[in-house]
Amino acid sequence: MARNRIALIGGGQIGGTLALLAGLRELGDIAIFDILDGIPQGKALDIAEAAPVLGFDADLSGAKSYDVIRGADVVIVTAGVPRKPGMSRDDLLAVNAKVMVAAGHAIKRYAPHAFVIVITNPLDAMVFALQKASGLPANRVVGMAGVLDSARFRHFLADEFKVSVEDVGAFVLGGHGDTMVPLVRYSTVGGIPLPDLVKMGWTTRKRLDEIVARVRNGGAEIVDLLKTGSAFYAPAAAAIEMAEAYLKDKKRILPCAAYLDGQYGVKGLYVGVPVVIGADGVEKVVEITLNASEKAAFAKSVDAVRVLADDTFRLEPALG
């Protein structure tokens, strides 16, 4: 059986880590595209040279031409620029929306049957832009945010309780930004919901509130430490988990930025919700019951995402 093909649009910090992780997990052959000549070729060769030591077989290629993504089964998009000093929010939206248009057109041309995972920020708007530009069905284009946000939540909880990260489950809804909604009620340690752990005296409500605030600020915390860039190990790991769920038809339930067509009372927008990922892409949006305060927080997050998406579509005429 021929190997699957994983294409990475963007060969920067996350792109390079994605290539290494896809190799280590033996997800398939790997192609890296970047506009910087030498970077995709160099990273592909470097990882290919690690393969004999690490013990995996994969064909690695890198190019400055979109042709390299031809026939990909999964495409992961990290291409774009970060916000630089002096750049307004709208400048960033306009620049990265243009990158999504180019990537979307290339995917339509070279990999129209792929499952596409977008990581480029601002995530909820960029995944929508890419879906529009590619013309791919919405169930085949998702955004990576919730797996990362809930992984951060899980790490902080495991650290708080001094238990294995494997025994911690965490739930995050909404947009990928400071309006995200970490759901305490649906997050568990060893299957025990967090509010019960407060009753058991393991922690306090105040401590949980501090952890939730840290999850919301998770991206900025890393930027403050790194100073020259943003997180890349955890975002790459999160996207690889989503790619694997698709390629192996695992039907994992993962929080992703997915297109909502009435679910959660939202129509025509990409927002972070739990979905089932299997061989058909997003096979189902899982609708959980929210209480009044969770509903209010989710609605606020949806409003923020809608403003971002509207501005992106206004700024990039090709999406109209």
Q: Which positions make up the binding site?
A: 10-15, 34, 83, 89, 96, 119-121, 152
Q: Which residues are annotated as a binding site for substrate?
A: 83, 89, 121, 152
Give the largest Cα separation in the chain, rounded.
58
Q: Where are the beta strands (DSSP E) in the chain?
A: 5-9, 29-33, 60-63, 74-77, 115-118, 141-143, 168-169, 172-173, 181-182, 188-189, 192-193, 252-261, 267-278, 281-285
Residue 81 CA to residue 274 CA, distance in Å, equals: 28
Nearer to ligand APR, 79 or 142 (CB): 79
Amino acid, single-letter form, for residue 62: G
Write down the least CB distance from residue 38 to ligand APR, Å. 11
Q: Which residues are annotated as a binding site for NAD(+)?
A: 10-15, 34, 96, 119-121
Write down the least CB distance from residue 12 to ligand APR, Å. 2
Two tokens, residue 36: 């910087």
Nearer to ligand APR, 10 or 62 (CB): 10
DSSP assignment of 52-100: HHHT----EEEESSGGGGTT-SEEEE--S----TT--HHHHHHHHHHHH
Among the listed residues 164, 116, 156, 151, the one whose alpha carbon sits nearest the alpha carbon of residue 233: 151
Beta bridge partner(s), residue 9:
33, 77
Write down the least CB distance from residue 289 to ligand APR, Å. 31
User: Which DSSP symbol is given to 214?
Assistant: H
Residues at the site binding ligand APR, with contacts judged by CB under 6 A: 9-15, 34-36, 39, 78-82, 99, 102, 119-121, 229-230, 232, 235
Nearer to ligand APR, 100 or 194 (CB): 100
Write down the least CB distance from residue 258 to ligand APR, Å. 18
Nearer to ligand APR, 13 or 150 (CB): 13
When CB distances to ligand APR are compared, the closest residue is 12
Write down the least CB distance from residue 212 to ligand APR, Å. 21
Nearer to ligand APR, 297 or 305 (CB): 305
Identified catalytic residue from 105, 113, 155, 176:
176
Three-state DSSP at 293 gives: helix
Tell me whether residue 176 is one of the annotated catalytic residues: yes
**Active-site amino acid positions:** 176
